[in-house]
Chains A and B, each alone.
Chain A
C-alpha cells in the first residue's frame, strides 16, 4: 500500500526543535526524524519513550556474575579441588577472594556485550544492512522530519514551510 509522506529538511538543530514542538502542538503525525548528531531534548519533544537499555544491561551483568560464580564454584571447588601453595580450595567462601577479579570481569563482559548486541538488534544495525536515511545530507548538516499525510497535503506543506524548513518535499512511500 502506498501512502504519502512529507520530508521537511532543516539546517539547524534549534529550528528543528521548535518545528517539532509546533508540529506536535498542531497534532500532525511525526513518523521519523533523521539527524546527523544527537539533538538534545529531541526525544522528549517527539514524545519518545525512555529507552530501557540500561536496565537490560544491569540484568545482563547479573547473569554474567551468576555464570562466573557458578563456573568458578564448579571448576575450583566441586570438580577438582586442589591444595595450591598451602591454600586449599575446599569451600567457595574460603576461595572467594581469588575469584573476585574473574567474577568482576565476566560481569562487565556480559553487561557490555549483550547490551551492545541488544542495541544493534533493536535498532537493526548490522553489516550489509542498507542505510535508510532518505537524504544523504542528514549525516552531514541537515535534519529531516518525516510527517504522515492524511489528506492534508497542501495545508501541511505551507505549515512546514512556516516552521523554517529549507526544503519541503512530498514523497510517495511504498
Chain B
C-alpha cells in the first residue's frame, strides 16, 4: 500500500467507497441503460435547431452570401465570430487532457474524456463556417496545396488564412486520435460487458481488439505522454494562428501584437466555461457526482477566474497601448468600441468576461453548483461578444466616413449559429449515451491513491501506528 501514498491534505477525487468493479459499473451504466424522457426532450430540441441551421446553410449556399447581413464595409461578421468562438471552446479539451497530464494533475481524469469530446465536436462546428463562407463548399479542397488548373499557381503560404487550414486540420485530427486511443481500453470494457450480440459487435469494432497486454499498456502510456507533449504546443499554436487572421492585417483594432496570448487565454477561459456547463448537467443526469466532484468544479472555476483575469488585463493593455501608440486611427478604434454605437456589446463583454469571474474569489460561490452553472453561461455569452466586438467594431467605421455603417444580422446569420449549437448538442448527447464518458481505466489507476475509502484506511493506519509509539 505504501506505493499508493498521497498527502492527506489532498482531498479525495473519487467518493463513495468505490472498488474497481464499482468504477466499471458506474461508467457503463449510462451506456447500458435506456435514455430517459429528459434526454429525448433535449435531443429533440437540439435536433430541431440543427435541422433549422442546416436549412439556413442550404439557403446560403444555393442563394449566396447575400442572404447574410454583411455589407460593403462589414465583410466579416457572425461567421468569423462563430468560427473563433467555437475554436476557442475547443481548446479546453486538449488543455485538460494534455497540459494537465504533463503537470500530473490527477483531477483531470474524471473530466478529460468529455472535455476532449467537446473539443472535437466544437472544432467541427468551427470548421463549418469557413466552408460555408466559401460559397462553393464543394471546392473546399482548393485550400490544400495542389496546383490549380491554370498551371502551377499554388495557395499562398504567406496568408494566415492558409496557416489556419493547417492549424485547424492538424488540431482536429490529432485531438481525434488522442481521444480515440484513450477510448480503446474503455470501449473494450463495454465490449466485454455487452449482453446483446449487436452491442458486442459495435464495441468490438471500435475497441480495435484491445486486449490489455502489459506491453500494450506500456506503449499506451508512452504514446499518451508523447501525444500530450505534442498537443500542448499545438493547442497554443491553434489560437495563436487564429489571432494572426486579425493581427497580421492593417486594420486598426486588429493590428496588435498582444492578440496571440490574449486569444489563447480567452480560448482556455471559454473552453473551461463550456466544460463546466456540460459537466454540471452530465454529472447529475448520468449519476457521476462521485467522480466529477465539487472539488473538480471548484478547480475548473479557479482556472476560469485566472484566465478571465488574464483576459481582463489584455483588454486594459489594449486600451493603454492604443492611447500610448499615438496613432489616431488606433485610438479612435478603441474609443469607438467603448463609446460608439456598439458600446453595449463592449460593456457586456467587459461585464461577462472580466467582472463576473471575479465572484469566484469566494469559496462559497465557486463551490456552489448553481453559481458555477450561471457563471459558465455568462462567460460563454461574454466570449461570443468579445469576438463580435473585435470583428464588427473594428470594421464598421473604416477610413472613409461616407462608408460608415452598422451591421445587422439576418435570420440566416442567426439560424446558422443556432444550428451549430444544435449540431454540437446532438453530437454531445449521442456521445453521452454511447461512449464511456469517464476514462475509467485511468480513474482505476488513481483509485488507491485518491479514493476516499483508501485514503481513510491509510490515515487510520497511520493514526494507530503513531499511538503505538
Assuming the A-B contacts A115-B227, A123-B216, A138-B212, are A37 and B205 also in contact, with contact meaning beta carbons closer than 8 angstroms in the complex?
Answer: no
Q: Which residues of A lie under 8 Å from residue B213 when comparing CB positions?
A: 32-34, 123, 132
Q: Which residues of B contact A75 (CB under 8 A)?
A: 145, 154-155, 157
The answer to whether A111 and B20 touch across the interface, beta carbons within 8 angstroms, is no
Q: Cβ of A133 < 8 Å from any Cβ of B?
A: yes
**1/0 contact trace for B193-235 toward A, CB 8 Å?**
1000000000011111111111111111111011100110110
Counting CB contacts under 8 A, is A25 at the interface?
no
Is there contact, CB below 8 Å, between B185 and A140? no
Using CB atoms, name the residue of chain B closest to A56.
Answer: B226
B216-261 contacts to A (CB < 8 Å): 216-223, 225-227, 230-231, 233-234, 237, 241, 244
Contact with B along A74-97 (1 / 0, CB 8 A): 011001101010010100000100
Q: Quick one: given A75-B145, A130-B204, A138-B212, are A109 and B174 in contact (CB under 8 Å)?
A: yes
A138 CB to nearest chain B CB (Å): 6
| A115-B188 Cα distance, complex, nearest whole Å | 22
Instruction: Considering the complex, give the chain A residue whose CB is closest to the CB of B186.
Output: A139
Contact at A140–B227, with CB atoms within 8 Å? Answer: no
Determine if A171 is an interface residue (Cβ-Cβ < 8 Å). no
Contact partner, B174, options A57, A113, A130, Cβ 8 Å: A113
Q: Does B123 contact A (CB under 8 A)?
A: no
Q: Which of A41, A79, A109 has its CB near the most chain B CB atoms (within 10 A)?
A: A109
- Give the bracket for the number of chain A residues in contact with chain B: 35 or more
List the A side residues contacting B222 at CB < 8 Å: 51, 53-54
Contact B230 A40 (CB under 8 A): no
Q: Which residues of A contact B230 (CB under 8 A)?
A: 57, 61, 108, 111-112
Of B162, B184, B204, B226, which is within 8 A of A115 by CB? B226
Cα distance A36–B226 in the bound complex, in angstroms: 22
- Out of A51, A102, A119, which one reaches B181, CB within 8 Å? A119
Give the chain B neighbours of A36 by CB distance below 8 A: 20, 24, 185, 189, 212, 441, 444
Interface presence of A35 (CB below 8 A) = yes
**What are the residues of chain B within 8 A of A82 when measuring CB–CB?**
156
Interchain CB contact under 8 A, A37 and B445: yes
Please tell me if the beta carbons of B163 and A123 are within 8 angstroms of each other in the complex. no
Interface residues of B in 82-134 (CB under 8 A from A): none
What is the CA–CA distance of A79 and B160 in the complex, to the nearest angstrom? 21
- Contact of A3 with B by CB under 8 A: no
B40-48, B59-67, B165-173, B424-432 - interface stretch: B165-173
Q: Is the CB of B157 within 8 A of A98?
A: yes
Whether the Cβ atoms of B214 and A37 lie closer than 8 Å is no
Chain A 111-128 residues near chain B, CB threshold 8 A: 111-113, 115-116, 119-120, 122-128
Contact with B along A19-36 (1 / 0, CB 8 A): 000000000000011111
Q: Which residues of B contact A122 (CB under 8 A)?
A: 219
A133 CB to closest chain B CB (Å) equals: 4
Residues of A near B207 (CB, < 8 A) are 131
- Complex contact A105–B167 (CB within 8 A): yes
User: In the complex, what distance in Å separates the CA atom of A104 from the CA atom of B244?
Assistant: 15
**B325 is an interface residue with CB less than 8 A from chain A:** no
Q: How many residues of B contact A (CB 8 A)?
A: 67
Assess the B218–A131 pair: CB atoms within 8 A. Answer: no
A166 on interface, CB distance cutoff 8 Å: no
A128 CA to B205 CA in the complex, in Å?
5
* A42–B174 CA distance with the chains assembled, in angstroms: 29
Chain B residue contacts of A132, Cβ below 8 A: 209, 211, 213
User: Residue B191 at the A interface, CB < 8 A?
Assistant: yes
- Say how far A2's CB is from chain B's closest CB, in angstroms: 21
Chain B CB within 8 A of A157 CB = no
Residue of A nearest to B171 (CB): A105
CB contact under 8 A between A127 and B206, given known A36-B212, A119-B219, A139-B185: yes
Is B34 located at the chain interface by the 8 A CB criterion? Answer: no
Query: Given A71-B145, A123-B215, A131 and B209 touching (CB < 8 A)?
Result: yes
- Could you say which residues of chain B place their CB within 8 Å of the CB of A51? 215, 218-219, 222
- Smallest Cβ distance from B202 to chain A, in angstroms? 11
Question: Distance in Å from the Cβ of B352 to the closest Cβ of chain A?
Answer: 31
Assess the A38–B441 pair: CB atoms within 8 A: yes
**Smallest CB separation, B186 vs chain A (Å):** 9
- Our pick among B218, B441, B448 for the contact of A43 (Cβ within 8 Å) is B218
B177 CB contact (under 8 Å) in A113, A128, A133, A139: A113
Q: With contacts A105-B170, A141-B19 known, is A119 near B223, CB below 8 A?
A: yes
B192 at interface (Cβ–Cβ under 8 A)? yes
B24 near A40: Cβ-Cβ < 8 Å: no
> Complex Cα distance A48/B218, Å?
9
- Nearest A residue (CB) for B203: A131
Q: Given A14-B1, A36-B441, A108-B233, decide whether A43 and B214 contact each other with a Cβ distance below 8 A.
A: yes
Residues of A in contact with B (beta carbons under 8 Å apart): 13-14, 32-43, 46, 48, 50-51, 53-54, 57, 61, 71-72, 75-76, 79-80, 82, 84, 87, 89, 95, 98-99, 101-102, 104-106, 108-109, 111-113, 115-116, 119-120, 122-133, 136-141
16 interchain pairs, CB-CB under 8 A: A14-B1, A32-B214, A35-B214, A41-B3, A43-B218, A51-B222, A80-B153, A101-B166, A109-B174, A123-B216, A125-B210, A131-B191, A132-B213, A138-B192, A141-B20, A141-B24
The 4 closest A-B pairs by CB, nearest first: A129-B209, A141-B20, A136-B192, A125-B208
Beyond A43-B215, A108-B233, list 11 extra A-B contacts (CB 8 Å): A32-B214, A34-B211, A42-B217, A76-B154, A79-B154, A101-B244, A109-B174, A125-B184, A132-B211, A133-B211, A139-B191
